[in-house]
Structure 1
């Protein structure tokens, strides 16, 4: 045996022993070559070109064609082909779906532009499909050299970010961008479109983010009228606000955000953050969809925005018992005045309680900054001292004694007391309830009975004087 052969023999035997023991305990030995894995087949959409530019010949029609291809390895379903934007009426498509394209198939779509005026016009053609990566493809339609590229990306679970680049924007020409995407279909608040007029030519970059929570560096939204934020919008822009005008947002708010609190689309307002705080913007309700309300709001520039939902905000300003000492066969009244300090109409329930027992209630419909009054009439069958509450507010005690007359020395207030039935000009959104006092002024401590007695005394005095004249 050669020198060292015994050592090599020992090492070989050790390796064989390790392999045998590994096989005995069931340890799998991984193969060393390339590993192949199966990939699920998916559709893949390609839309070309990304923009259609038409001539600006007034009174003439021009047609151009774009193609939709499926370059994937699974069927592509085209759900819809739609044209959106303020100038969409000037463009007409020859195909609107639905259609299924097999792998390698193509569908051509003809778009016709009919210019009724010579002004610049813009629109966007949406191709909606089942492509998992790009469920919406956009084609820019215009009769100018301006081209817009809009691309979305979801950054967080409840935050949507859309980037837009406008190339060769013309000075003093209104630009209209549609930035709605399928991924925002369930968002509480979303921006569907933005229009603005740049006062200089060139390119403009916009980044529009929406979120249900406020962005970190934005001051809290807190108004005294109880308006609640539904969602926030943040806009980064490469063009200064001093060089833009006529900015308009088209936004939508999910219907269920307004359900259950007596608010409607008329209570939705867009607010802009300025140095002085949150400023209300002119907001107009446009239309109602299946799941959302749609609005348009005008703003002097880009910034941080909040979509606010106005709320009713009630408070009891006055409450009293007109007569606090009575007998069992008499009655008293409880007068309650309620004010709505909020920004929306609402209904407030006034409850009358004796001790802790609910004995009567009424509802007041009150407009923003309005006041209404409720009147409760109450009698007592049993003597005693009764604590009177209105909702959770203590009004006073009523002392009830048996007999036909009111005990002397008690505290009394005239039938209407010092509270008159008041309904301001904008205070009521409906007819007053039967339990409410009517409008008018009254003199504290002087009711109808007191006036009648005074007139009777005067008449008797006159008659007596004539009799003894």
Structure 2
């Protein structure tokens, strides 16, 4: 069902002088309102608007407005008045609201975006309100302004709102759950002008502190499998706005690659008005997206790129929702954020040999260094080959940004030349050679002159004592003598 109502617009041009901008009124929805149908109401929010005797809204920029100290709108110029009146939706579904009139000199807008056609509308969630601004362009004009404006409201189902990502000021991004878009003291927390690559988040006259916005899964990658789902902001301001945009983030992704991580998607967050002291960003990824890339949730990281420097944020896996894995990151401020997966990047950085010539059985030491230029610690197994035959393997663990060195002894007993490689990269070669054979001295015999004693002559032994033969002869002689004596005793005398 479509509701239509007209509101009066009174305009008067002033040829000289300046247009006065009085302070805004404070009653808003606390007092009487202009009720349009059962679910849309209008409330003055400045001295330019008021309710007449029939409680119908009047926007009066003429001298007849008793609250204005001015004679009318500046001639031959462009005048913009922020927050002239506000629109609030009291229904239980969603509503598209827009204004139409017959003049190209008058523009009504919300957050700087015109809301003057069904295609360019503002979408309101239950109990949500928006501030409407007015621009009057009198350049080259003396008349031709409109006397009234028609307010249109069209109730829309959440599915219709979520699917509407066209141009204009449609606020359909904040539509995932009607219970998650409460009013804030009767004022507005909303998402405006969603497109395929952007969302704009606005808080109007809220309470300082924490505010959560639904980003309706803003896609961070071309497939839409990785998305920004929600943002919870902290601010001391009652009103502020920020924009999320996924286009033009290539520079930040390149920095992440240089840091050793693999970018999966990125978003640029810009604070358009007000200040934000901190935020929590919630992301999600389809399970198939994670499985195809063999990503472990513990290795997912969110990096913040600001002022030329890259910082890894505290990132926490928070569970599952709608067959998607969710995780969040806390940030002290807004800039460009890159969701990436951390990998070790291990490379053989150096290798050499301790010697190039050795003897058989002598050891040659192979020294190899492994560097990790990635963002995650990793292990690498090195294979040492000698003449294409595996001689040894070694496994080394390397922390991010570190270098580790391993040594491998190689021994060969056969002579010859041997080529050494580490992980297929030729390191050098060494040669095994036989030991040197000792030289044999040649001795030449010479006869020294008779009158000369040589220090090298063999000493002549002097005879001394009994030899064995002399001793045996003496013993035999004594034996014969003993026998003669025995015989002599036995022989009778004469």
TM-score normalised by length of structure 1: 0.48
